[in-house]
A and B are shown apart, each in its own frame.
Chain A
Amino acid sequence: MKKILFSLLLGVSLWGYGEGVLYWTPHGCDEGKTTASKHGGHGKGESAMFALMNSDANASAHLILPDLSEKALTFTLNTIMLPKPSMGGYYAMVAEVSTATRVQSAIRYLSLQGRPAKVSPTLLIALSKTALEIVPDPLHREHDRYTASKSYRFILMFQNKPLKNATVTLETHKTPIQNYMSDERGSFTITLPNDFTNVRVGRSENKPSEFLLSVHHNDNFTAYTSTFSMPYHINPNDFWQSQSWGIGAIFLGFLGGIFLYRRHKKQGVSRG
């Protein structure tokens, strides 16, 4: 009952967001969080449960591990519980729903801690996962995170080739949809909006929000849709960190050094 209520709440909170497309979103129920804490490898307060939104009974999902091996994921309603991570590094969650005329896919990456896989994450990112794919170029680095007000580049790939002149939409919960166009190399750059409200001072005091990239493409009477969803975090420089004061402090330090120079100038001689 509690889980159904939580799913309803999640659905209401995501009203209008990601409408009509298949995408992953974290399911922050107690069960997911408890499992994540038992697993280890997840960050504090993270959930091991994810929901595949707008999915149907035909949905299939698998996990690509840091060593590029694959593991099938089983749905309970529209949710999956991640297995205990056997190694550290990037994991890719891939979901697909296919009909005769429509292919939908959703990808999400996770960085989990554990024994190193000794396989470059570059290979995981470059690995073709679905026919139409939004590939991060690059994905944020381990220990880093997607951050508001920063720009990130992606490449659109269709059947292993760059997809040019395609429109990609960026959605967040609080900012209207923005459109981006891929260039000749399939590349496009987004800037994550600074749309956090009720901000509290301190990075850990503010929960991350979610962003969703979607792309549609028609080929040979088949409509392809793919999404990329990830969390993004508040940028302290937008709130409680001042860059102009920082530049001022550097200048003050520089002046201190020049003061010392003037003090020592009489004692100094050109180096011989």
Chain B
Amino acid sequence: MDKFLTVTALRRVVQLTAFVFFVYGAMIFATFYTDDKLTQALPALSCAYDMKGGDYCALIPLQHQMDHRVSTLFTQNAGAMEAFMGTLITIGTVALLILILNKAFCGWLCPLGFFQETITMIGTKLGFTQLTSLSRETITKIRPIKWFIFLFLVLILPLLTGIGFLGHEWGNPYCSICPSRIMTTAMTGDMSQVYISQANGGYFALSLIADLLFGLMIALALFVRQPFCRICPILPMQTLFKKIGLLRLVKNGSSSCESCGNCIKACPMDIYEIQDQAENRNITHSDCTLCGRCVEFCPHDGVMSFKYGPLTLYSSSKERFKKRTKIDKWWKG
């Protein structure tokens, strides 16, 4: 039994529990109505379209606020307070949540992240040849996409819709293409979110992108780790506050780190920067999901660690590395 007691095993239990809560929570707890939701601004892709969900992500209120509130600055000469109050509440809630758990919302709580990891596990068992890591060039090309999605699909296009430059379909364009909308609703037996709309060109394009992206994500997850997470707009939003997060990844590799590259191989987001030398420094990268695999797979004592405020929660060690490698070999047969 002891051999299964690892950070990854603990993470799987937390992920599964979070998945059940965020996808089916309203069936278990009295959280059906919006007013009953836990935060209404979760920094993880828990979807508001899922009528049985326990909470929903911050991106839907952000888009609606851009469309219906911030736009009134231009259309109705509304006061700044009136226009920004909702957005400030959402951003403030996100900041508070990031302060508590930082980017662990992605690696430990996000239903879509867990869904992709489950498909990767299935892919491994089905014998799909796994891509160890994406190349630096590919990663460099992919990274700006999430910022583009965040700026345009979450903020700018909904704002332009509210002002009247664009049609209603651009009021929440990110939700219209988000794979979590299709996944979470389908998981509750509601297939109404799988469709191609013929209402107009915009609706058609967004619905087509959503379905193609969902199918592509499933196929890619069979052999690439976390394919959608790499372009997820939750990451840029979290990045705005990651400095204040109490939970963080710290590297103290001044003397011991041999730049073996194990951490990069272990990292599902292919963050090459974690290999760089650092002396007792917070190395929580914008793309980091705080999954802890780099800590587990670091063979040196105390080089990588998870810290919460001044407390060290978990550190890398030779013994843990050996145990984790053994489990990995056992899992992959």
Other than A141-B34, A246-B195, A250-B218, give 12 A-B pairs with Cβ distance below 8 A: A117-B35, A120-B33, A242-B196, A243-B195, A245-B195, A246-B207, A249-B196, A256-B215, A267-B131, A268-B131, A269-B129, A271-B332
- Taking CB atoms, residues of chain B closer than 8 Å to A251 are 215
CB closest chain-B residue, reference A139: B33
Interface string of A245-272 (1 = CB under 8 A from B): 1111111111111101100110111111
State whether B129 touches A141 (Cβ < 8 A). Answer: no
Show 14 A/B contacts (Cβ-Cβ < 8 Å), sorted by A.
Answer: A89-B35, A122-B33, A143-B34, A241-B199, A246-B195, A249-B196, A249-B208, A250-B215, A250-B218, A253-B212, A253-B214, A255-B215, A256-B215, A270-B129
- Across chains A and B, the number of contacting residue pairs, with CB separation under 8 Å, is 143
State whether A260 touches B32 (Cβ < 8 A). Answer: no
State whether A255 touches B219 (Cβ < 8 A). Answer: yes
- Taking CB atoms, residues of chain A closer than 8 Å to B34 are 141-143
State whether A257 touches B215 (Cβ < 8 A). Answer: yes
Interface string of B88-117 (1 = CB under 8 A from A): 000000000000000000000000000000
Binding site for A on B (CB under 8 A): 30, 32-36, 48, 51, 124, 128-132, 168, 182, 191-192, 194-200, 207-208, 211-220, 222-223, 265, 328, 332
- Taking CB atoms, residues of chain B closer than 8 Å to A240 are 197-199
State whether A253 touches B194 (Cβ < 8 A). Answer: no
Please report the C-alpha to C-alpha distance between residue A138 and residue B35 in the assembled complex, in whole angstroms. 14
Please report the C-alpha to C-alpha distance between residue A255 and residue B131 in the assembled complex, in whole angstroms. 18
State whether B196 touches A254 (Cβ < 8 A). Answer: no
Please report the C-alpha to C-alpha distance between residue A122 and residue B37 in the assembled complex, in whole angstroms. 12
Please report the C-alpha to C-alpha distance between residue A227 and residue B36 in the assembled complex, in whole angstroms. 27
- Taking CB atoms, residues of chain A closer than 8 Å to B218 are 250, 253-254, 257
Max count, chain B CB within 10 A of own CB: residue among A90, A242, A270: A270
State whether A253 touches B195 (Cβ < 8 A). Answer: no
CB closest chain-A residue, reference B127: A270
Please report the C-alpha to C-alpha distance between residue A268 and residue B223 in the assembled complex, in whole angstroms. 9
* CB of A198 within 8 Å of the partner chain: no
State whether A268 touches B195 (Cβ < 8 A). Answer: no
CB closest chain-A residue, reference B216: A253
Interface string of A105-144 (1 = CB under 8 A from B): 0000000000011111110000000000000001001111
Which of A122, A138, A256, A264 lies in contact with B131, CB distance below 8 A?
A264
B47 smallest CB distance to A (angstroms): 13
* CB of A236 within 8 Å of the partner chain: yes
* CB of A201 within 8 Å of the partner chain: yes
Max count, chain B CB within 10 A of own CB: residue among A116, A141, A236, A250: A250
* CB of A237 within 8 Å of the partner chain: yes
Max count, chain A CB within 10 A of own CB: residue among B48, B168, B200, B220: B220
- Taking CB atoms, residues of chain B closer than 8 Å to A150 are 192
* CB of A45 within 8 Å of the partner chain: no
Max count, chain A CB within 10 A of own CB: residue among B51, B207, B219, B220: B219
Please report the C-alpha to C-alpha distance between residue A253 and residue B196 in the assembled complex, in whole angstroms. 13
A122-B30, A249-B208 as given contacts; A241 in contact with B214, CB under 8 Å: no
- Taking CB atoms, residues of chain A closer than 8 Å to B265 are 271-272
